[in-house]
């Protein structure tokens, strides 16, 4: 891999992700701490750090300062992403289970959304998500709350 620090003026989103992950490991910060420090949610912060969203200028600057990244990383963090991901079912167990949830419950979620709101979708653009731990005597639970604007299909 090219030396990311000497070619900082040519950084890509992938390069910045590597720099962020390296800095996170070096600083031992959790995503929650990073997000709180720059004033964004942990979910959005991680997504933007992985290149899947663009950061507002002030938040990108704060992240660059917090993690001591090259100044050029700010511009890359602000760039609009190209959201391309593999369409094959992933093998990572945590991500696979999320695919499984959508595979099993996706049609149910769609039916219930449309029954409540009408013919349309939940936005993944005007969207937020919170992941929390819920103590449970049988083993702690993962709670995923998603909230997206309802977008009705247009008739034309």
| The dihedral sign for the CA sequence 24, 15, 41, 140 | negative
Q: What distance in Å separates the CA atoms of residue 81 and residue 31, rounded to the nearest whole number?
A: 20
Task: Indicate if 100 and 129 belong to the same structural domain.
Answer: yes
**What is residue 4's predicted lDDT score, i.e. its pLDDT?**
55
Q: Which of 97, 133, 141, 145 is catalytic?
A: 97
pLDDT at 128: 95
- Is residue 123 part of the annotated active site? The answer reads yes
What's the pTM? Answer: 0.76
**pLDDT by residue for the chain (156 residues), tens digit each?**
455 555 445 899 999 999 999 999 999 999 999 999 999 999 999 999 999 899 999 999 999 999 999 999 999 999 998 877 667 888 899 989 998 998 888 888 998 899 999 999 999 999 999 999 999 999 999 999 999 999 999 878
Last residue of a domain, one of 53, 78, 103: 78
Q: Which residue carries 């490991």 as its tokens?
A: 25
The catalytic residue among 7, 57, 100, 147 is 100
Sign, CA dihedral 40-46-47-51, equals: positive
Same domain assignment for residues 104 and 131: yes
Alpha carbon separation from 148 to 74, 90, 106, 125 (Å, rounded): 28, 24, 15, 8
**Known catalytic membership, residue 26:** no
Spatial contact of 77 and 40, defined as CB atoms under 8 Å apart = no
- Name the residue range of residue 37's domain: 8-78
Among the listed residues 7, 26, 32, 123, the single catalytic one is 123
- Other beta carbons within 10 angstroms of residue 151's beta carbon come to 14
In the chain, the number of structural domains is 2
Give yes or no: residues 20 and 44 share one domain.
Answer: yes
Task: Give the per-residue pLDDT at 7.
Answer: 47
> Is residue 100 flagged as an active site residue?
yes
């Amino acid at each position: 891999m090219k030396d990311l620090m000497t070619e900082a003026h040519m950084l890509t989103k992938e390069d910045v992700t590597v720099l962020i992950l390296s800095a996170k490991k070096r600083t031992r910060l959790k995503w929650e701490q990073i997000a709180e420090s720059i004033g964004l949610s942990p979910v959005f912060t991680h997504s933007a750090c992985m290149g899947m969203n663009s950061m507002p200028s002030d938040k990108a600057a704060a992240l660059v300062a917090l993690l001591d990244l090259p100044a050029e990383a700010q511009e890359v963090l602000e760039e609009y992403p190209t959201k391309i991901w593999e369409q094959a079912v992933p093998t990572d167990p945590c991500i696979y289970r999320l695919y499984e949830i959508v595979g099993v419950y996706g049609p149910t979620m769609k039916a219930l959304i449309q029954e409540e709101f009408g013919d349309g979708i939940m936005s993944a653009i005007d969207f937020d998500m919170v992941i929390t731990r819920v103590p449970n005597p049988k083993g702690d639970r993962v709670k995923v709350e998603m909230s997206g604007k309802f977008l009705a299909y247009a008739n034309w």
